[in-house]
Homo-oligomer: A and B are copies of this chain.
Amino acid sequence: MSGTVNFRGYALRELNALDRLVGLLSRLPGVGKKSAGRMAYHILDGDPSYARLLAEELAGLHQAIRRCGVCGSFTETDPCPICSDSSRDRSLICVVERAQDVRVIEESGEFRGLFHVLGGLIAPLEGIGPGDLSIGQLLNRLREGKVRELILAVNPTVEGDTTALYLQKLLKDFDVEVTRLASGLPVGGDLEYADRLTLSRSFRGRVKL
């Protein structure tokens, strides 16, 4: 074990093992220096078998998991279990921004079709155009002619709206219905705390009872 961490310019000086671990943990999303410290001490205080198991999983992660050649989600087998599940509805494709969105939707149990991971959203200000997303692969899947509906499950943000609009225009010559997840008040939410845009969308998308 070297005494120096050479990871992307992070603290190139000599550090002890604990400081190196804290430094690495604090690069995780939502983890600041304090919580990284708490985690490191928790690991150190705890059963060494936990640290060993976590180390093994991390070391093998990128070998074990790849991208599905069909939908682009993370998987151990290619095609992924969802794409190769014959019981799923192949006439429905749910288009998501990132691979983790597949997990969120699968956990809701609401959707029994297939997925397509765009790998991002159109964001001109960040230099991300349609060519940077897996839109070509999506068109190839649609050309097979089995897809009846494309559900755009992109976030209700400016980038999500832009991407949805782009796909809607692009797909108008395809014989496929393009829909988008409803936007409105979250269940259990409170009118008082809803922002103007969410309220406006929930009015426009109101449903008959």
Contacts and interface: CB of A to CB of B under 8 A. Distances in A.
Interface string A85-118: 0000000000000111001000000000000000
A54 B54 CA distance: 9
Q: Which of A7, A18, A57, A98 has the most CB of B within 10 A?
A: A57
B52 A28 contact: no
Contact of A59 (B24, B25, B29, B52): B52
Interface stretch (A39-47, A126-134, A160-168, A173-181): A39-47
Given A17-B76, A38-B30, A58-B43, A50 B65 contact: no
Contacts of A49: 7
Interface residues of A, number: 49
A39 B29 contact: yes
A65 B30 CA distance: 26
A21 interface: yes
Interface in A60-94: 60-62, 64-65, 74, 76
A6 to B, nearest CB: 8
